[in-house]
Amino acid sequence: MAEEAVLGYLENNEEISDSGNFAEVKGISHDELVNVIKSLNGFRLVDAQDIKREKWVLTNEGELYAKYGSPEVQLFLAVPPEGITREELQKIVASRLPDDIEEKLKSSMFKIGSTQAIKNKWIEMGKLKVSRKVQHVEDRVKELLVQIQAGEAVGSEDIDALKRRKLITPQTWKGYSVKKGPKYAPKRKKVATDLTRENLQRGEWKELEFKEYNFLAKGQPTEGGCLHPLLKVRRQIKMIFLQMGFEEMPTNNFVESSFWNFDALFQPQQHPARDSHDTFFLKEPATTRRLPEDYVARVKKIHESGGYGSRGYGYDWKREESDKNLLRTHTTAVSSRMLYALAQGGFAPKRYYSIDRVFRNEAVDRTHLAEFHQIEGLICDRGLTLGHLIGVLEDFFSRLGMSELKFKPAYNPYTEPSMEIFSYHEGLQKWVEVGNSGMFRPEMLLPMGLPQDVQVIAWGLSLERPTMILYGIDNIRDLFGHKVDLSLIKRNPICRIGL
């Protein structure tokens, strides 16, 4: 309807000089008209020029005065011919104010009203009494405000005065002047978007007008091609390991026996981590079927009475305990299998890594889940020292963007010495623990059959921790598990540039 009005009008007239007036005359909303003009202008049916006009609109305070009268008149009317005390006047003015006035404004009404009324020489404030100086006043302020509301012209002096009292404020009105465009037609032709078989058969293609391609239009956002942040960081860390010459260990067994998860790592059978409060044990199948018997015998011996210069723990080692199946509590279980295998095949120096899931029977909270992903790295070679471990860790973590590291002595049953790794976090402005590390004990390595002069340096960390830091996620349940918002994945592009 607005479109017909514009095109129809231009058929017989030079221009629509002001879209505001035009909308009013035609009885259409200006917003609707503007949309039509923009569209017609886009298709060059019309030529539209912006016009801007400053106009005055009432502030909230101005609206109130326009409705109820100015405070100076209110105040004047409250002064009886014989005069009144200030306190009483204040009370009357307050009691006459309408309810819908803001509290803040209410309390200032008396002050504004009296100041203006004195300035206008309407009243006099003596020591004891307030009295009238004139008998009759007119509410000029209210009149002016009502005129402005109605869009009527008001003199510049009056405008200045109202502006100073913050009763009106300027507003820019935007509209258009419209002329015929190069493609003007009294009616918009429907343009074809497709050339059909019928168009060709009937010869319509000769007359048809086709819609032009819009090469600037944006396409639909793609649904695919996104990876979960954990997968992205996993890939990034995998690349770091590969660049450092590490091979991946096979981690495709969540179920592990206590033997490989604990005993092979010289973790005594009374160790609290081996309690069902910390570890998930399997009911079915509850025990492992096969273990390398001669190696089991050497592990039993090292726990009970030691060997290779160690005194062992001096307790009764039980086979039933090591047969128990569990969900692996760390990927160090995989490392122990790999090192054992390496010792059987004839030793060669190796760099191994893995990134996979581990399970712990923990109370779930903002930063803990009962399952998470562990990153594990190890190097076995002759003549390795703690210095090598520190050097490798500094190389590894600096590739992740953590170049400032601190080490703190720690304890693991399978490493000596052991170190916790801390990194300075710029965002959090503090040192945060990022991993655990150490040199595997001879009590672990020698029963496997590794040569005496071989050392293994190793470290482990969670995948979740650096991912949460890198992506600014503070609740682990937003990152992993059934509460994860799919849009987290869709929001993050397939590559993450920088750290």
Please identify, among the stretches 121-129, 200-208, 317-325, 434-442, the one whose residues bind ligand PHE according to the rule CB under 6 A: 434-442
Taking the least distance from each CB to ligand PHE, the nearer of 325 and 437 is 437
Q: Can you read off the two tokens belonging to residue 194?
A: 């497709």
Sole binder of ligand PHE in the list 74, 257, 258, 436 (CB under 6 A): 436
Q: What is the 3-state secondary structure (H, E, C) of 415-436?
A: EEEEEEEEEEECCCCEEEEEEE
Please identify, among the stretches 160-168, 339-347, 393-401, 435-443, the one whose residues bind ligand PHE according to the rule CB under 6 A: 435-443
Taking the least distance from each CB to ligand PHE, the nearer of 168 and 389 is 389
Scanning residues 394 to 433, which ones bind ligand PHE (CB under 6 A)?
A: 412, 415
DSSP for 295-349, please give it: HHHHHHHHHHT-BTTB----S---HHHHHBEEE-S-THHHHHHHHHHHHHT----
Nearest distance, CB of residue 496 and ligand PHE, angstroms: 26
Taking the least distance from each CB to ligand PHE, the nearer of 263 and 376 is 376
Task: Give the Cα separation of 307 and 311 in Å (integer).
Answer: 6
Yes or no: say if 117 and 75 are a contact pair by the CB < 8 Å rule. Answer: yes
Measured from each CB, the residue nearest to ligand PHE is: 460
Taking the least distance from each CB to ligand PHE, the nearer of 70 and 336 is 336
Q: Can you read off the two tokens belonging to residue 388?
A: 């090598």
Q: Is 466 in the site for ligand PHE (CB under 6 A)?
A: no
Scanning residues 319 to 338, which ones bind ligand PHE (CB under 6 A)?
A: 330, 332
Task: Give the Cα separation of 117 and 114 in Å (integer).
Answer: 5
Q: Is 232 in the site for ligand PHE (CB under 6 A)?
A: no
Q: Is 274 in the site for ligand PHE (CB under 6 A)?
A: no
Q: Which DSSP symbol is given to 265?
A: G
Q: Is 258 in the site for ligand PHE (CB under 6 A)?
A: no
Taking the least distance from each CB to ligand PHE, the nearer of 378 and 470 is 378
Nearest distance, CB of residue 309 and ligand PHE, angstroms: 22
Q: Is 114 in the site for ligand PHE (CB under 6 A)?
A: no
Beta-carbon contacts of 159 under 8 Å, excluding residues fewer than 6 positions away, are 56, 168
Task: Give the Cα separation of 347 and 343 in Å (integer).
Answer: 5
User: Which phi and psi (to 5°) does residue 285 adopt?
Assistant: -80, 135
Residues binding ligand PHE (CB under 6 A): 330, 332, 376, 412, 415, 436-438, 458-460
